[in-house]
Amino acid sequence: MERKPVKVSIIGAGAVGSAVAFSIATQRLAAEIAIIDVNNEKAEGEAMDISHGLVTMGSMDIHAGTYEDVKDSDLTIVTAGVGRKPGETRLDLAARNVVIARSIVKELVKQQPAGPVMVVSNPVDVITYVMHKEGGLPHVFGTGTVLDSARFRYLLSEKTGADIRNIHGFTAGEHGESQFAVWSSVHVSGMRLDSFCAKRGIVLDKEEILRDTVTSGAQVIKRKGVTNYAIAAVVAELTNTVLKNRGSIFSVTSVLDDYYGIGDVAISVPSFVGASGVSGYLPYDFTGEELDQLRHSAKQIREFMNTLSL
């Protein structure tokens, strides 16, 4: 049977959406990329700009699209949303982006996406919950703490001097202030982090590393106004995982149902990611303290969503 060309739709042609489209194109992950935005001219411009570089990437159909494109897309990526304005609270931002998410959900429900929906828009845990619960879309997940985990590994690499490719570990919970580092997961080339540091004479300030992980995005925004390249790289990696049905484990966010007693909330836990989005969860061997932190993070998100009447 002839295999149909891979198609990805990206909703949102802003700094993140355009960077995602570029990253997917340069890695040649799809034969067709549809960029959908309320500002169709902006979407057209982004598609044209990337297409002008196809001589280095190979043949692809990159174009401005409509919501009808999601019908036959193997993956739909939602990046649309607004950034926080000066003096605006996190709650204000969430309320504004929930309105945008609901408008997108209505369109997606009309079209019934062929493949899973990956949410990138912030606050990603809240938007993922809204799209899954209110839209009834079955295969919705968000990037969650995958980017935070990448930042975490980068900072550990900087502090230990070890190649980032040899450092493994992740953060979990909210993509935000209540997330936590799963220190029990961290190892360097198979060696537990504490043992590695002891043998190398390295003293780590774990609280500082976690604090820098959580505030990394804010530090980038302070300097350039937006974070878009690292998240685009992360989204491309997740896209590759979905399209190739790898079943890789990532700390993505999705609506949980009795994960260590946690339910009716979207937070990041180790999840199997493939062609259907999240196909299952890894019951990770958290320490007692880590489980407490996970439940605390879930409680914080639930209380925040209650203020939004979700």
| Separation CA 282–CA 269 (nearest Å) | 8
CA dihedral 93→94→100→106, nearest 10 degrees, is -170
Based on C-alpha coordinates, what's the Rg of the chain?
19
Q: What residues are labeled active site?
A: 175
Residues 233-253, buried b or exposed e (16+ Cβ, 10 A)?
Answer: bbbbbbbebbbeeeeebbbbb
- Pair 20, 77: CB distance under 8 Å: yes
| Separation CA 126–CA 118 (nearest Å) | 13
79-82, long-range: CB < 8 A, 24+ apart = 79/10, 79/11, 79/12, 79/14, 79/16, 79/17, 79/20, 79/120, 79/121, 80/11, 80/12, 80/14, 80/17, 80/37, 80/38, 80/104, 80/121, 81/12, 81/121, 81/122, 81/127
